[in-house]
Structure 1
Amino acid sequence: MAPFGLWVSPWAQARTDPQAAVNTAASATEPATAVGKTGKPTTARSVTHVNVEARRYDFPFPAAQHEPDATTRLSADLLRNRDVTTLRGLERVAPNLTMQSINGTASTNFYLRGVGFNDFTQNNMPPVLTYMDDVAYAYPSMSNGLMFDLADVAVEPGPVGTKHGQSTTGGEVRMRTNDPTSTWHYGAMEDIASYARSRSEAYISGPLAKGWSFRLAGQTRQGGGWQYNPTNGAHLGDADLWALRGKLRWQPNDRTTVQLGGHFVQDNSQVVTAVPVYRLVGSQALPGFGLGRQAEWSSRPEFSSLVGRGSNLKPSEHNQYWGADLRIIHDFGPATFTAISAFETERQGEYTDQDGTARAQADTYRTIDSNVFTQEARLNGAALHGRLNWVVGAYYQRSRMDQRFFFDYTDYAARGYMMATSFGMKQESVSEFGHVSYRLPHNVTIWAGLLHELDDRGITGLTSQIFGGATRVFTPENTAANQFAGQVGVSWQFLPQALLYYKMSKGFKPGGFSANNTQVQAQLDPFKPETVLTYELGLKSDPIPGRLRLNGAAFYNDFHNQQVVGTVLIPNFGPLSEITNAPKSESWGFEATLEAHPFGHLYMTQNIGWQRGNFQNFPNVDRAATNAYYKAHNVWRAIERNFNGVDNGSPKLTLNGDATWRQPLPTGFRLDLGPDWQYRGSQAIAVGGTGFYRLPPYFLLGAHVTLHSPSQLWDVTVYARNILNRHYAESGGMATTTYFYIPGEPRFIGGRISCHF
């Protein structure tokens, strides 16, 4: 949950809730229609008197305290105060959430309650889905560059899909951007920080004609590269991104809303490169830089020419994303109809130096050309004076993807060539869902939901080409799934400020394919669908309203065929990562959020997430033992074992929080200052990993100071992240010859000024 909310005037509300702009002046005369969570239009009445000096601090999202879920809701103010500007930043403000860059790139993996996997090719459905304005992104990278002009974010763990969208097993991250307003508003933000980093945002919103309104927002990011090569002084990591989003809304009457939205992102940013921590193959010394700012990378002119990039190619992105969506909402009275049509596309060109050395042993360039069409239609309503609430709907998704991986192994003695792997993906799914809840006497509510999904996907045209050598053509493969998911639960509002709930959920996620660096046909065998039965007990409470809030949930996950990144050994080639199934596994844990205003001007938040899990049956190649055998005998031999009883490798403990002192100043100014912190426990990068196969734990400390104007129309902030300049590993992995870590950001100190009118 967000730590606290601030309400100083309707002008301030308009920053995070655009529709509240209708209440910003005594002269407002027209009601404005917004769309609430249920999809029903709600009317905001005009306000004739506004006291701009009024001050009332309270905890945010009070209505959510009566909803039986473990969702973490994050306000736009909180995200801005904690400098959360990318998806990966969400792990600093939500419990039991780990979000990691894939090999330092813009692609992101999610682990929510330990559920997730490292899909480098990004061609499979993730266990945790990303939504932007109710549009599900089948491939997480499609959301890159879109976290600006946000209204709020919600992180919901566990199986979902009986109320909207698509079923999955790990949960979902829902981002909501600001909508058009019926009165004029505009604003801008400029953020400048260490290493010449700059971020700029601006928006404008208002009416066009009777019933018509619009919103246009954009951002740019530049600089910030903090890695450098001490041997030649070259620098790496500068951002170069711009994005634009537009919305056009038509409200012909107080029952109907039609909104067209679109966005475009161009990302030519450099990426963070790997730091090798262990040499698996060969005798060359590693750079030995540690997890600081120093790093090595390389790109041979021949390889740059092959992939069609310049000779000075650095690890970087060359990506383009765009999409459009149309939503229609109509209130029929007894029920509200919602239809959302969306088309999303991505064009990626991405270079990474995965061995983290100046040699060409695992230099990789990949291209992705994909598009996704989704259509959702749902009908929801209430009856019996609000005691009965229901929703029924259907969801359709069609995706197409073409990928090509180029590899430069020229300096890898066992290969000594450049090669390319190409493949296509076709996918189509349809699902039907329904959910019903009924409020019994004594504030007891029962509910049930059901989803049925058909999914069909195939991999086509896969070839593996060695330049100057042989080309292998592989047989297409297909996989289909026909599954049910569902949920039943009961909640009890036993006090006006306390809710207890229990639910059981079955989640489903379709199977797919591992397609990276394919050498033998068996690597294209599809992995099976994943199912999970989740038991959850939760409490939401405000023991001292306005002073103390405590929310928490405990869970147990019973997995069947959990999709896990395991290991396959290719003779005369070496070990490769492969998504496979663990026939039986389990996990359990809890998360909690404490929000407190203990006295005076002090406001605090503490999120805690703890989880454990193990495999109960998982036969696979033991990567550590296989590597050790190769080191001793210089021969690849798969050492098999069953990982029964082995820990699932996820961080056991995650913590994050902040404290803020809010100090009123003369003439209506206010100063907010305080620290924030984050801890992540050790995480395995290979099944059963110990030693260098695990990312070390880390603790980060930050701070912020913000001066608010009396009118709340502008504020100035100075902030620091990683103020102790800790060296830590954000993520890790394996290349052909080395194991590597991706280092996290060093200390960043910056300043930000923003204004809203």
Structure 2
Amino acid sequence: MKAAAAQSRLSNRKIGLMSGVAGLAALALPASALAQSQIEAGQPVQTPVSPQTSPTGPSPEDNSGEIIVTAQKRAQSINDVGLTIAAVSGESLRQRQVASLDDVAKLVPGLSYSNTQNGTPVFTLRGVGFYDTSLGSYPTVSVYLDEVPLSFPVLTRHSVFDLERIEVLKGPQGTLFGQNATGGAINYIAAKPTKDFQAGLEVGYGRFNRFTGEGYVSGPLSETVGIRVSGRVEHGGGWQYSVSRPGDHNANLRNYMGRLLLSYDDDDGVRFLLNVNGWKDKSSTQSPQFLALFPSYPVTPADGGAFNFPFTPFNPRAADWTPGIPYADNRMGQASLRGEVDITDAITLTSLTAYTDYKQRQGTEGDGLPIRTLELTADRGRIKSFSQELRLSNGGNQAFRWTVGANYEHSTVDQNVDNRYDESFANIYLGKTLGYPIFNSFYTNNQTMENYAVFGNGEVDVGQFVLKAGARYTEAKRKAYMCNQDPSGAPNGTGGFFFDVLLGGAYGAYSPDRCFSFNQFPDGSPVVDYLPAGAPGAYNARINEDNLSWRLGIDWKPQRGTLVYANVSKGYKAGSFPTTSASTFAQYLPVVQESVLAYELGVKLRPFDRLLQLNAAAYYYKYTDKQLRSKLRDPVFALLDVVQNIPKSDVKGAEVEAILTPGENFTLSTGFTYTRAKIKEFTGINASGVEADFAGSEVPFTPKYQLAADAEYRVPLGDSLKLFVGAAANYRSSTVAVVGGRTNPVGAIPARDGLFVIKGYTLVDARAGIASADDRWRAQLWGKNIFNKYYWNNVVSLADVIGRYTGMGATYGVTFAYKFGG
């Protein structure tokens, strides 16, 4: 009885401590909102897996060579998890010079990365993605850093440094990860503080005068406190050259990243991990290649504008831009506090509090020309996001394993864009015919998001089988304020054109403080009820949605080294408002939440122990209300941007992965993915301006075939040195950048086939070097895209032009790394 009473007092003390930590964290971190569900990223432990997982830990492999992952919010061998997971170690990331989101996508078949106009990354996984560059748009492939969500894609730009590993979870992850993970989740697991002093430094120099430096210092401050400080610097010249101004270059590199981790473990069941990280990006965003003309007004070459310039040569480095643009001065800071308390030997209470602050100040090249047909001369933005998660879970060694918890997120996203189109066909035509040249607008999108969620997940062993079930209920609230203004104050400018011409002077003269977009559908009916039909003003609206994500599954383990699994799940992505320069309120309308019903059958085999690992999976996704960026036909401005829902679409596919390690000195890994993603029902106007019934069209950014392979051979040179050589190849078949992208819009010049097609390509990387036998130091030569393949991953239609975003040509360099201590 005394022991029980003592245990009860200890549990009460720990619960009080955890509650206090959650409260103090909420006060200590500047709060402005909250984020959704996360993963238990980065708590690798040695097997057997204990019920609790320390914020500090050894390598992601246990003593038997098993890869330990945290895909289900507990540490497990990757071969015991009935999900499709791609895991890449930190050492492999360093040797393959993975330092960007594009590099990450090349490692994983089924994962695609797309460049965008303003540098906001877009991931598509197994045909599931959402192409929208607005700061406030949630993704379909969520990204996390050590359990903390990077809720908006722009926040994910610079987290790939000093990592223990990356986990890519394929398929809907809504039960444990929350909404906005319908395609999957990418987990960055940062390297943790070590029990003894360790330090490391890696420096590199490559083509385009590019220098990189990365380092860390790690060790104990006391018996209970550990620290790790790491950072990375990227600096170099631009790889794009101007076709009109010899000697001028773009896409320079100016990135600075840092991370501080403080861990506490009292060996009495109380653990904390403070993570303070951030980055500053002063690189210039990439310029598109001027691929084709798409005149939106009846103009001729004699009128000038984009007609006066040649199309960009088909060279990966060739491009053009307006002098002074692009530029960037963006920064992100994040602080998170994770606390764990072992309530009993089998039950742990976990709290995660996080605050993220992002500030954007950049100018973006829109048309790939040295004139202003469309430029975002000032793109300002701010994201403030606060999140809190509390959960209870029991130990991984229990026959019945469960997790229950709750999430809260509150985020504010403000974006203000100065849009210039001085030499656009619209400006030329309206200025010449009506005396109202429209050359400038300033549009604003201010949003507040609030999400609440409760979730539970459980699995139980029944002989050779594991039965799995989980659910999450989410309530999401979002409100938006949007306005389009003319800051120039010109009497016959854009605002004057709206008030004097389109509105016939009914609302007086225009002044720069007024919003000129008016409350009207194309048929003349009102969009909102707080303004008369056709009246100008600001757009205010709300979205209130809720959903129930769930998953059911069964794992079968007939023998050691064999896992067969089957899952069925339902996931959701939240609705959102676009950020766009609008003529009418019809462009401001949001998309509603999308949903996916997913079926997956897979197998994981180790037929020859460590010699061979085989994984295979087949999947089918049934999509409802898939979100996409498209166009609206406006009677004055022809085609304008909107977001819409595709009523029905589906994805069918299969993938196979094999990892062969016949000995200590050779490793070969291959992965193949087949994905057939089709629109089942959608009639409208696509993002290139084609109006049609798109049933049967392929889903954008989804190659039917993807293949990745990597091989490395190591040769001992005596007792103290070893030589290594390696190569990687990545193949992707053709896809499209827009729905119906194999059909060109009418009037495009030139009318060559497939302006919006992304052709298939194969990229080859190589590496070779020498290292000490104990991996204390490493010197390496490396090359990326060594055959200088010309390829692109996105094509966009903006104003009068169609532009193509290319990948980098051949790059090469040398790196040297050294480790201290340990």
TM-score band by shorter chain is: 0.7 to 0.9
1-side partners of 2:474 and 2:310: how far apart? 49
Q: CA deviation at 1:113?
A: 0.4
Tell me the distance in 2 between the aligned counterparts of 1:151 and 1:601.
22
From 611, 620, 624, give the equivalent of 2:684: 620
Per the alignment, in what secondary structure is the counterpart of residue 79 of structure 2? helix
Contact 2:466 / 2:555 at 8 angstroms: preserved in 1? yes
How far apart, in 2, do the equivalents of 1:249 and 1:35 lie? 23
Q: Which amino acid aligns with 2:768?
A: V
Q: Structure 2: which amino acid aligns with 1:738? A: V
1:487 partnered with 2:508? no
Please give the secondary structure, in 1, of the residue aligned with 2:586.
Answer: helix
CA contact (8 A) 2:135 2:415 kept: no
Deviations 1:386-433 (A, max 9, x none): 211000011111000110111111011312412111120110001011
Q: Residues 566, 686 of structure 1: CA spacing in aligned structure 2 closer, same or farther, 3 A cutoff?
A: same
Match of 1:685 in 2: 737
- Match in the other structure for 1:325: 336
Q: Which of 424, 433, 440 is the aligned partner of 1:418? A: 440
Tell me what 1:444 maps to: 465
Contact 1:462 1:476 in 2 (8 A): no
Distance 2:211 2:220 in 1: 31
Aligned partner of 1:462 in structure 2 is 483
| Number of the residue aligned with 2:321 | 297
Residue identity opposite 2:455 in structure 1: F
Pick closer, same or farther for the CA change 1:749–1:268 going to 2, 3 Å. same
Q: CA deviation at 1:683?
A: 2.1
Is the contact made by 2:42 and 2:146 (CA closer than 8 Å) also made in structure 1? no
Matches within 5 A, 1:524-563: 524-563=588-627
Shift in CA distance, 654/44, structure 1 to aligned 2, threshold 3 Å? closer
Superposed CA offset, 1:255-310 (max 9, x none): 111122211211101222110111101641433322321211114xxxxxxxxxxx
Letter in 1 for 2:342: D
Question: Deviation at 1:605?
Answer: 0.8
Pair 1:81-2:118 in alignment: no
- 1:159–1:197 distance in 2 versus 1, CA, 3 Å: same
SS of equivalent residue, structure 1 residue 414: helix
Structure-to-structure mapping, 1:67-216, within 5 angstroms: 67-103=81-117, 105-164=118-177, 166=179, 168-216=181-229
Deviations along 1:301-329, one digit per CA (max 9) or x if unpaired, are xxxxxxxxxxxx23132101101011101
- In structure 1, stretches of 5+ residues that fail to align are 1-16, 21-31, 46-55, 300-312, 628-638
Give the Cα separation in 2 of the matches to 1:124 and 1:44.
Answer: 35
* 1:35–1:41 Cα contact (<8 Å) kept: no
1:66 corresponding residue in structure 2: 80
CA distance in structure 2 between the aligned counterparts of 1:40 and 1:414, rounded to whole angstroms: 61
What is residue 747 of structure 2 aligned with on the other side?
none
Match of 1:642 in 2: 693
Separation (CA, whole Å) in 1 of partners of 2:713 and 2:65: 15
* Contact kept in structure 1, 2:443 and 2:482, CA below 8 Å: no
Report the AA paired with residue 318 of structure 1: D
Shift of 1:338: 0.9
Distance 1:348 1:563 in 2: 25
| Residue 515 (1) aligns with residue 573 (2) | no
- In the alignment, structure 2 segments of 5+ residues that lack a partner are 1-40, 69-75, 302-306, 428-437, 496-514, 517-536, 743-753
Contact 2:137 2:577 (C-alpha < 8 Å) held by counterparts: yes
Does 2:668 align with 1:656?
no
C-alpha distance in structure 1 between counterparts of 2:558 and 2:49, whole Å:
26
Matches within 5 A, 1:706-725: 706-725=769-788
For 1:112-134, what per-residue CA distance to the aligned partner results, in whole angstroms no more than 9, with x for missing partners? 10100211113121111110110
Given the alignment, which residue of 371, 383, 386 partners 2:398?
386
With over 3 angstroms needed to count, the CA separation of the structure-2 counterparts of 1:76 and 1:326, relative to structure 1, is same
Map of 1:727 onto structure 2: 790
1:430-467 C-alpha deviation (Å, 9 max, x unpaired): 101100100101x1111100110000001114233363
Does residue 287 (structure 1) correspond to residue 311 (structure 2)? The answer is yes
Contact 1:720-1:747 within 8 A present in 2 as well: yes
* CA distance in structure 2 between the aligned counterparts of 1:19 and 1:380, rounded to whole angstroms: 15
Conserved? CA contact 1:444–1:491, under 8 Å: yes
Deviation at 1:672, TM superposition (A): 1.3
Per-residue Cα deviation, 1:213-244 (whole angstroms, up to 9, x for no partner): 11111111001421111432201111111111
The question of 1:256 aligning with 2:270 is answered: yes
What is the root-mean-square deviation of aligned Cα atoms in Å?
2.4
Residues 99, 110 of structure 1: 8 Å contact kept: yes
CA–CA separation in structure 2 for the residues paired with 1:706 and 1:57: 28
Note the 1:33-52 alignment, pairs <5 A. Answer: 39-41=52-54
Tell me the CA shift for residue 477 of structure 1: 1.2
CA distance 1:261–1:34, change in 2 (3 Å): farther
SS at match of 1:452: strand
1:741 aligns with 2:763: no
- In structure 1, the partner of 2:372 is 360
Are the structure 2 counterparts of residues 209 and 579 from structure 1 closer, same or farther at C-alpha, using a change threshold of 3 Å? same
- Counterpart residue identity of residue 459, structure 1: A
Q: Distance in 1 between matches of 2:265 and 2:665?
A: 43
Cα 1:482/1:595, change in 2 over 3 Å: same
- 1:347 alignment counterpart: 359
Question: Aligned equivalents of 1:464 and 1:34: distance in 2?
Answer: 61
Aligned to 1:408: 420
Aligned partner of 2:615: which letter? Answer: N
Q: Is the 8 A contact 1:533 1:558 kept in 2?
A: yes
TM (norm. structure 2) is: 0.81
The amino acid that maps onto 1:460 is Y
Equivalent residue of 1:88, what SS? helix
- Residues 165 and 376 of structure 1 are in contact (CA less than 8 Å); yes or no, is this contact kept in structure 2? no
AA aligned opposite 2:815: R
> What is the distance in 2 between the residues matched to 1:224 and 1:601?
37
Answer with 594-603 or 211-220: which moved more: 594-603
Bigger drift between 230-239 and 338-347 goes to: 230-239
> How many residues align structurally?
691
Larger C-alpha radius of gyration, 1 or 2?
Answer: 2
Deviations 1:496-515 (CA, angstroms, capped at 9, x unpaired): 11100001000011111122
CA contact (8 A) 1:541 1:551 kept: yes
2:646 paired with 1:582: yes
SS of 2:266's partner is strand
Secondary structure in 1 matching 2:755: helix
- Check conservation: 1:612, 1:652, Cα contact below 8 A: yes
Q: Counterparts of 1:600 and 1:344 in 2: how far apart (Å)?
A: 43
Return the letter of the residue paired with 1:681.
Answer: S
Deviation of 1:730 after TM superposition, in Å, equals 2.6
Provide the residue aligned with 1:631 in structure 2.
Answer: none
**Displacement of 1:195 after TM fit?**
0.7
Please give the alpha-carbon distance, in whole angstroms, between the structure 2 residues aligned to 1:692 and 1:431: 43
Matched with 2:384 is 371
Match of 2:450 in 1: 428
Distance 1:37 1:222, change over 3 A: farther
More strand by share: 1
- Measured at CA, do residues 177 and 709 of structure 1 come closer, stay the same or move farther in structure 2, by a change above 3 Å? same
Correspondence 1:305-320 to 2 at 5 A = 313-320=324-331
* Segment drifting more, 499-508 vs 87-96: 87-96
Following the alignment from structure 1 to structure 2, what is the Cα–Cα distance between the partners of residues 36 and 246?
A: 27
**Residue type at the aligned position of 1:696:** K
State the TM-score, normalizing by the size of structure 1: 0.87
Aligned residues of 1:33 and 1:43 also touching (Cα < 8 A):
no
- Whole-Å Cα distance in 1 between the matches of residues 312 and 484 of structure 2? 37
